[in-house]
Structure 1
């Protein structure tokens, strides 16, 4: 109980809150939606489950999934236009409340920057506060790979982003919120982790984190205590 109280206190007094995007800030997994749009949904969804469960390295899973999808620049644009990412209920109010309190909000995603920046814009989060993987395309728009230098392209990458944020912004109290093992592994360097199960429940996350919520309303209510 002491650990739960401490996590809640850190959240109420955070300098910054970092959110995972897929299945946390938005209802779906961006890479799975892209795969379905490109006609290879089933094969890629199974790899996503393995990656989120921690049974394969994130970089390997990302590379394998993208090599199956092989999306063009035009397909990515059309996906965002025809099937824009769906925000999880309550996230807009939560981000607004955090901003009102002067708390910095960041998005840290193993998904794709072209989708994440669209989500950031919907939530009023500056684009430079969004960290995600970047797809590469040839001049003709065909798939050319992904930027492997991005920290979010590897296991443990979200923790590297948090460490970078703490150093660059001088942040003392950073909270990470997410549904997967890659989010939980970002604490430390994050000072606290909140597991989120509003879209999908990852049992290893639910069992191991000190505070697990299924609605962003719970976090809004916690802020109202101060």
Structure 2
């Protein structure tokens, strides 16, 4: 499929799955949490390895969370002080998709507590959000993460997309994201749009049939 083929699928899409970190949002939620906890640089190196494809996602996610070691209270205070930084145009894009009768999902390798406020800003219902859940001991201290969440590992996003297609019968589902884990979701997604506004991953830029440099670019194509 070439770029025009990707555009044709998007124009007729019955569902769009959006990555969150560095796509819907300008930043990486886990990196922002790490910076808040004073371990930003160490964690960012792992993030780049995972998004660039040089480390498995689960390996990277586990390593980053061990460095951050976020207690329930720490996450709560972080959320109180950190408002989601939405990428320009994303709200208009989501609203445009909805006006066309297209369902919108957030499919993220990020942390559910950080993703939920983003979904709320975009009026995306909780059941349309797939992300990772942290676990805590009774004391509130960090106890790991739920490894049954498909997005906690490499190859997890295709699992979510496959599930959505089977559950809802979607015929034209599009995945949009900046990372290798997003690109891996096509197939089973019917088309993939690489997203390079906030960060440009070499592997994604080279292999995407359509590498978009703004949400406005996608909006303009949809309105043609």
Please state which band the TM-score falls in when normalised by the shorter chain.
over 0.9
Report whether the alignment pairs 1:138 with 2:173: no
Does the aligned pair in 1 maintain the 2:173–2:190 contact within 8 Å?
Answer: yes
1:22-46 Cα deviation digits (max 9, x unpaired): 0000000011111111111111110
Q: How far has the Cα of 1:132 moved from its partner?
A: 0.3
Which residue in 2 is equivalent to 1:72? 71
Report whether the alignment pairs 1:218 with 2:217: yes
C-alpha RMSD over aligned residues: 0.8
Which residue in 2 is equivalent to 1:182? 181
TM-score by length of 2: 0.98
Quick one: distance in 1 between partners of 2:47 and 2:206?
20
Aligned residues: 224
Q: How far has the Cα of 1:120 moved from its partner?
A: 0.6
Which residue in 1 is equivalent to 2:25? 26
Quick one: distance in 2 between partners of 1:219 and 1:47?
30
Does the aligned pair in 1 maintain the 2:52–2:202 contact within 8 Å?
Answer: no
Quick one: distance in 1 between partners of 2:201 and 2:114?
23
Q: Which moved more, 1:10-19 or 1:133-142?
A: 133-142
Instruction: Name the SS of the counterpart of 2:2 in structure 1.
Output: helix
Q: How far has the Cα of 1:89 moved from its partner?
A: 0.2
Which residue in 2 is equivalent to 1:100? 99
Quick one: distance in 2 between partners of 1:140 and 1:51?
31
1:149-187 Cα deviation digits (max 9, x unpaired): 100011010000000000011111100000000000100
Quick one: distance in 2 between partners of 1:95 and 1:202?
24
Quick one: distance in 1 between partners of 2:135 and 2:84?
21
Quick one: distance in 2 between partners of 1:124 and 1:99?
11
Instruction: Name the SS of the counterpart of 1:102 in structure 2.
Output: coil
Quick one: distance in 2 between partners of 1:85 and 1:35?
15
1:64-87 Cα deviation digits (max 9, x unpaired): 110111011111111111111200
Q: How far has the Cα of 1:53 moved from its partner?
A: 0.9
**Runs ≥4 residues deviating over 4 A:** none
1:95-124 Cα deviation digits (max 9, x unpaired): 001111110000000001111111111001
TM-score by length of 1: 0.98
Which residue in 2 is equivalent to 1:55? 54
Quick one: distance in 2 between partners of 1:41 and 1:171?
39
Instruction: Name the SS of the counterpart of 2:175 in structure 1.
Output: strand
Q: How far has the Cα of 1:223 moved from its partner?
A: 1.4
Q: How far has the Cα of 1:139 moved from its partner?
A: 1.5
Quick one: distance in 1 between partners of 2:105 and 2:45?
28
Instruction: Name the SS of the counterpart of 1:145 in structure 2.
Output: strand
Quick one: distance in 1 between partners of 2:51 and 2:111?
16
Q: How far has the Cα of 1:16 moved from its partner?
A: 0.2
Q: How far has the Cα of 1:138 moved from its partner?
A: 1.2
Report whether the alignment pairs 1:204 with 2:192: no
